[in-house]
Amino acid sequence: MMKNQRRKTEEKIFIQIMRIACGIIILVMGLIILTILKKGIPALNWKILTSVPKGGFYFGGEGGILNAIIGSLYLALGATLIAFVISTPTSLFLNVHLKKHFRMQNAIRLFIDVLWGVPSVVYGAFAFSVMIYFGLRASLLAGILTVSVFISPIMIRSMDETLKTVPLNLYEAAMSLGSTKFEIAYKIFFKKGIPGIATAILLSFGRAIGDAASVLFTTGFTDNIPKSLTQPAATLPLSIFFQLSSPIPEVQERAYAAAVVLTIIILLISITGRTISQKFMKNDIK
């Protein structure tokens, strides 16, 4: 009887500990979002969002962070587009053409999974050394290419996770009707996987827009909005990073404003992704 009591108490204690652990996570997320909003919203105004830095901006002069907002959007859109062009055929190949080659499939998946963890600063440093070798200067294009290389494994593996769930019957039925693998890949697997592919794109876009270490050396920094791919571009993460290290409080305020902009973009991406997957989950019979 006593022993039973002890077992029950032990469980109760651990349930409380587990609840606290969950609570900590929710609390920390709330704290982060609140801190960023509380510090950043007062510094946010139309002028900051819609103008580029004027003279002496980084010493507290006039201007805004439009250059960084536009630069970041260009960079993330470009990188996501390139990654999409590379990832779609790769992940379809993995799931359609290699459907019966399990060893090969697993080996490639393992390779890409292992790559997933390579830090962006390594990609950045490598890209920079390539640029120096060819005598290239920091530019939007260099940044786009670097970021696309680094988000491709992420995009491929998350597309792959959805394509994996397409039933084998569908593949076999299409095969028996005389479809080519190309048709199976794009007309069946791609179509079936669209919601998952959309989430994969959003996830990669979020990675691309939020990463600072890979663009640090490759994209450069400028006060202007880039007009061509060969010009350097400013990005939000770097704009936050540089302005925050300034000793002038007003400049730091703007870093907070930029952090709010970046956080809101990420929140929007996260909400959109969740809506997409929930909307399509309803129709999914598993």
Q: Which of residues 2-61 bind other proteins (CB under 8 A)?
A: 7-8, 10-11, 14-15, 17-22, 24-26, 28-29, 31-33, 35-36, 39
Q: Which of 114, 170, 175, 248 binds other proteins (CB under 8 A)?
A: 114
Report the distance separating Cα 272 and Cα 211, nearest Å. Answer: 20
Shortest Cβ 204–other proteins spacing (Å) = 11
CB of 268 to other proteins, least distance (A): 10
In this chain, which stretch among 44-52, 60-68, 73-81, 251-259 interacts with other proteins, using CB under 8 A?
A: 251-259
Token duo for residue 182: 């190309």
Looking at the Cβ atoms of 160 and 226, the one nearer to other proteins is 160
Q: Decide: is 160 part of the binding site for other proteins (CB under 8 A).
A: no
Write out the binding residues for other proteins, residues 178-217 only, by CB under 8 A.
180-183, 185, 206, 209-213, 216-217
Among 74, 123, 189, 221, binds other proteins (CB under 8 A): 123
In the complex, least distance from residue 210 CB atom to other proteins, rounded to whole angstroms: 3
Question: Could you give phi then psi for residue 117, rounded to 5 degrees?
Answer: -85, -5
Q: How far is Cα 269 from Cα 206, in angstroms, rounded to an integer?
A: 7
Alpha-carbon distance of 146 to 138, in angstroms, equals 11
Contacts of residue 214, Cβ cutoff 8 Å, sequence gap at least 6: 120, 121, 123, 124, 127, 143, 146, 147, 150
Q: How far is CA 269 from CA 14, 60, 66, 181, 205, in A?
A: 36, 32, 20, 33, 8
Site for other proteins in 261-280 (CB under 8 A): 262-263, 266-267, 269-271, 273-274
Applying CB under 8 A, does 69 fall inside the site for other proteins?
no
Stretch that binds other proteins, among 59-67, 111-119, 166-174, 190-198 (CB under 8 A): 111-119
CA–CA gap between residue 249 and residue 260 (Å, rounded)? 17
Task: Give me the least distance between CB of 51 and other proteins, in Å please.
Answer: 22
The DSSP call for residue 100 is T
Pair 124, 216: CB distance under 8 Å? yes
User: Quick one: 108 or 140, whose CB is closer to other proteins?
Assistant: 108
Name residues contacting other proteins, limited to 230-249 (CB under 8 A): 237, 240-241, 244
Binding status of residue 99 toward other proteins by CB under 8 A: no
Residue type, 222: T
Q: Which of 205, 112, 202 is nearest to 160 (CA)?
A: 112
Q: Quick one: which segment of 41-49, 59-67, 88-96, 224-232 binds other proteins (CB under 8 A)?
A: 88-96
Burial class (CB in 10 A: 0-12, 13-18, 19+), 127: buried
Q: Which two tokens stand for residue 118?
A: 């390579």
Of the pair 81, 266, the CB lying nearest other proteins is at: 266
